[in-house]
Amino acid sequence: MKRAFAGLAVTVLSLLLAACATSSGSEAPPPATTTLGTDAYHIGVDDIVQVSVWRNPELGITVPVRPDGMISVPLVGDVAAGGRTPGEVAKDIQERLATYVRDPQVAVILTDLRSHEYLSRVRVTGAVRQPVSLPYRPGMTVLDAVLAAGGITEFAAADRSDLHRKSAEQTQTYAVRLDRILNRGDLSTNYTVSPGDVITVPERTF
């Protein structure tokens, strides 16, 4: 009976070990790209980029993008990051690492958005046909930005729009009478925008 019990114990132990091995092997790698809600964002100079390679932590780096738009990755060398999305950079690194690492899984994470191009944008959100983030241009006005967003929708409460401007101390809000600008030619609130401004167009309440 002791031999039978010992044999049963060995069988159970073998099954447990097999289950553990299967569980470990089925662990899914991380997604190819993880960003701070910036999947379509084009990386700029001075942005801080973190590169992680699944199961190869020694290949991970966290570096700023150099003035030439490049980052240096272990084994791979210089990789173009400036002007590309995190997904494009991850795919490039992944393909080049395949020479040295079996089935590499690469994640590119933007940990700090510092590039001048990002900070100098003007954004239009809310009841517009296409919410946009626009590169700032000297002389750009509220009307220019709204037209670039395709104009307002039929649900917009245009005269309750706002321009939000953040300074070092606080965020100031300016009322924008967008309906008067678009339909009456009243340009008294057609403010000249500044880098970082956000224009919001609310929807009507029914």
| Annotation: CATH topology of 120-201 | Outer membrane lipoprotein wza fold like (3.10.560)
Residue type, 133: S
Q: What is the DSSP string of the chain?
A: -HHHHHHHHHHHHHHHHHHHHHHHHTPPPPPS---SS-TTPPP-TT-EEEEEETT-GGG-EEEEPPTTSEEEETTTEEEE-TTS-HHHHHHHHHHHHTTTSSS--EEEEEEE---HHHHTEEEEEESBSS-EEEE--TT-BHHHHHHHTT-B-TTB-GGGEEEEEE-SS-EEEEEE-HHHHHHH---TT-PBP-TT-EEEEPBPP-
Cα(129)–Cα(143) distance, integer angstroms: 14
Q: What is the DSSP string of 122-167?
A: EEEEESBSS-EEEE--TT-BHHHHHHHTT-B-TTB-GGGEEEEEE-
Does pTM surpass 0.85? no
Domain 48-117 has CATH 3.40.50.300: no
206 residues of the chain, pLDDT tens digit each: 434 434 433 333 333 334 433 333 334 444 433 333 456 788 988 899 999 999 999 999 999 999 899 999 999 999 999 999 999 999 999 999 999 999 999 999 999 888 877 788 899 999 999 999 998 999 999 999 999 999 999 999 999 999 999 876 788 999 999 999 999 999 999 999 999 899 999 999 86
Domain boundaries, given as residue ranges, for the chain: 48-117, 120-201
Structure tokens at 97: 């690492």
pLDDT at 38: 54
> What pLDDT shows up at residue 78?
96
Query: CB of 77 within 8 A of CB of 70?
Result: no
Give the dihedral of Cα atoms 27, 40, 116, 138; nearest 10 deg.
-170
pLDDT at 5: 38
